Amino acid sequence: VNVAGLLRYTLKRADKAVTLEEEVTVLKHYINIQKARFPDRLHTIFDIDEKLLAIPIPALTLQPIIENAVIHGVEPKEEGGTICFRIFELESDVFIEIEDDGPGMSIDRIESILKGETSQNLGHSTGIGLSNVVQRLRLFFGYDDVINIESKEGIGTKVVIKIKDHIIQEHNEKSLSVSS
| pLDDT beyond 90 at 48 | yes
**What does the pLDDT read at residue 51?**
94
**What does the pLDDT read at residue 23?**
93
**What does the pLDDT read at residue 5?**
65
- 17 forms bridges with which residues in the sheet? 58
Q: Which of 121-125, 131-135, 160-164, 175-179 has the highest mean pLDDT?
A: 160-164
Over residues 59-106, the pLDDT tens digits come to: 889 998 999 999 988 988 889 999 999 999 999 899 999 999 999 999
Over residues 10-23, the pLDDT tens digits come to: 556 556 789 999 99
Q: What is the pTM of this model?
A: 0.84
**What does the pLDDT read at residue 103?**
92
Confidence category of residue 168, pLDDT binned at 50, 70, 90: confident
